[in-house]
């Protein structure tokens, strides 16, 4: 697949922002700061990877934050209320989150609901279910009890790669969190799925023109359900990483995180028009947003200004996506007129 101009733009913008903060933000170019960046935004990058699949189909999943919260509360309940070992709880959590995503796909395919309406509805339903099953509410004494299961807490492990490779003697190296490597593995697995398999080709075909894909013999409904299931799986994986980092799960876990995932995907070059984009861009988009937030904090910029600038970046990305879409339509119309 040829490299899209949107991806090139976000890479260049990422490097420009990185250079700016390294020069002007005090203590930005430090090992501890990059360690915080990796640990604090790897799970959002995983969410953005999952969110990219519905967007590639001209859809959207507004429920990923609520799915994350539900998966986190399932982990909390299983480990603290029912003493389920982590090696059993982890696959159950991933299964629950994947089922939430599959339900979104079924609502869109079987009931023919618009993705926005379907996932907005499940956002409310999943968030309500979080409160309904909350172990913190059902057993109040558990509210201050941290999760201690070694399988789950092991997901918050850090690795001193600098010392292991001898690089720390040359330059200060951050400790790499396991969540960062899990994010890389998620990117590789789903990147291969999207770029090297028939399912990936079906995603791009359906996203480009669902009716043409149907006429070509592609099972559009199955493709949609699988795409939303992948989005749910990624939300479950992100939930496990957040629970390990916090050593607990709250009812507000993941609140508003769907906007961060969507913003990262769009900034990373995944077109809202469908059928265009990859998964590396959303990961870069995630760390770009994280870098902006951390850099502005170090510069003493208020949180309100940070939110405004994040919105401006997203607006620029959407505008650029729209510009490219219009240009593609003009090229297509020109080619058709020449052939006629």
206-221 tens-digit pLDDT: 999 999 999 999 999 9
Q: Report pTM.
A: 0.93
Tokens of 138: 């059902």
Per the prediction, the chain carries an average pLDDT of 90
For range 33-57, the mean pLDDT: 95
Q: What is the rounded average pLDDT of the residues 240-258?
A: 94
Please tell me which residue, 46 or 305, carries the higher pLDDT value.
Answer: 46
Arithmetic mean of pLDDT, 288-294: 92
- For 231, other C-beta atoms within 10 Å of its C-beta total 32
Full set of structural domains in the chain with CATH: 5-335 (1.10.3470)
In terms of C-beta distances under 8 Å and separation of at least 24 residues, what long-range contacts does 126-132 make, across chains too? 126/63, 126/66, 126/67, 126/69, 126/70, 126/100, 127/66, 127/69, 127/70, 129/70, 130/66, 130/69, 130/70, 130/73, 130/251, 130/253, 131/251
Q: How is residue 22 written in tokens?
A: 């390294």
> Does residue 2 carry a pLDDT above 50?
no
Tell me the average pLDDT across 187-214. Answer: 95
Greatest Cα-to-Cα distance within the chain, rounded to the nearest angstrom: 75
Hey, what are 319's tokens?
């505008």
């Amino acid at each position: 697949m040829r490299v899209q101009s949107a991806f090139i733009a976000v890479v260049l913008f990422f490097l420009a922002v990185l250079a700016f903060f390294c020069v002007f933000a005090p203590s930005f170019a430090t090992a501890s700061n990059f360690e915080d960046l990796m640990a604090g935004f790897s799970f959002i990058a995983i969410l953005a990877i999952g969110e990219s699949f519905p967007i590639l189909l001209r859809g959207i999943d507004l429920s990923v934050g609520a799915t994350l919260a539900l998966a986190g509360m399932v982990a909390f309940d299983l480990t603290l209320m029912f003493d389920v070992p982590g090696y059993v709880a982890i696959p159950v959590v991933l299964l629950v989150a994947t089922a939430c995503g599959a339900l979104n796909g079924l609502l869109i395919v079987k009931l023919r609901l618009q993705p926005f309406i379907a996932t907005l509805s499940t956002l409310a339903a999943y968030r309500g279910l979080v409160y309904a099953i909350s172990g913190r509410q059902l057993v109040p004494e558990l509210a201050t009890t941290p999760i201690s299961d070694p399988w789950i807490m092991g997901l918050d492990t850090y690795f001193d790669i600098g010392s292991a490779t001898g690089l720390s003697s040359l330059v200060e190296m951050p400790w790499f969190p396991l969540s960062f490597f899990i994010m890389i593995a998620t990117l590789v697995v789903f990147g291969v799925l999207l770029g090297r398999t028939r399912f990936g080709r079906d995603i791009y075909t359906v996203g480009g023109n669902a009716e043409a894909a149907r006429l070509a013999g592609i099972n559009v409904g199955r493709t949609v359900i699988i795409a939303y299931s992948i989005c749910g799986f990624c939300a479950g994986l992100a939930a496990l990483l957040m629970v390990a980092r916090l050593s607990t799960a709250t009812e507000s876990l993941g609140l508003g995180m769907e906007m961060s995932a969507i913003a990262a995907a769009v900034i990373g070059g995944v077109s809202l028009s469908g059928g265009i984009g990859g998964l590396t861009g959303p990961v870069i988009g995630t760390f770009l947003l994280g870098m902006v937030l951390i850099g502005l904090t170090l510069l003493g910029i208020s949180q309100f200004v940070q939110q405004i600038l994040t919105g401006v970046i997203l607006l620029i990305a959407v505008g650029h996506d729209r510009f490219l879409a219009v240009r593609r339509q003009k090229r297509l119309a020109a080619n058709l007129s020449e052939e006629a």
